[in-house]
Amino acid sequence: MKKLRAGMAALTFVLSSQIAYANSWWNDVKNDRVNSITAAIEQGQDPNILNEDGHPAIIYAVREDSKRAYMALAKNPKTDVNLANRFDETPLMYAAIIGDVDFAKALIQRGAQVNRLGWAPLHYAASRGQAKMVKLLLEHGAFPNAPAADGSSPLLLAVTSRKADVVKLLLAAGADPKAINQQRKNALDVAREMKLSSIVSLLEGK
């Protein structure tokens, strides 16, 4: 009985130590503690584990606005830069949302996929009107007419952002203003519905 109790106590200690270690990791990421994050990885911490919400550390860092942390993780060779969260979003998609070009460049340099089935980084960048990001992604081979999960094109999403400069970039790259989504609407339809006369003119080639 004593041996059993001792064994159970040892197991409890190990489990509590592991939980504390994990909590420390996520706390360091949240608080942008780059030195602690780097040291933890060197000591065996897996940077690709998911938190309880289904996000890897690099995406969690973006969500917490821990800029130094997500840049450090992007450059760390042990970080899987194509690992998606439980919503099937990749780090590059998050870089596209926030418009952090340096972050995107670091991810692409490490092999982040610019194109993917369904929602892709270009859709996210276009929907937020991130002109510099759209330009970067196109320069790295992003497909200007790639359909999102609902069939929407990057151009259609750019229209919803009301950013004419993004619309121009996509048109110059060969985006089709007549490509329809699952609701059978195209970029021109949306621009007219939103009464965006200057963007309508762009899409009509005037």
pLDDT of residue 2: 53
**Interatomic CA distance for residues 163 and 90, integer angstroms:** 24
CATH number of 114-206: 1.25.40.20
Query: Where exactly are the structural domains of the chain?
Result: 1-84, 114-206
Helix axes 101-109, 131-139, angle to 10 degrees: 20
Mean pLDDT by 10 residues, the chain (206 residues): 48 38 88 98 98 98 98 98 98 98 98 97 98 98 97 98 98 96 96 97 90
- Give pLDDT, residue 6: 45
Q: Given the structure tokens 């998606």, which residue do they identify?
A: 84
Give yes or no for a contact between 106 and 61, defined as CB atoms under 8 angstroms apart. no
Q: Which of 44, 41, 17 shows the shortest CA–CA distance to 29?
A: 41
d(CA 22, CA 145): 42
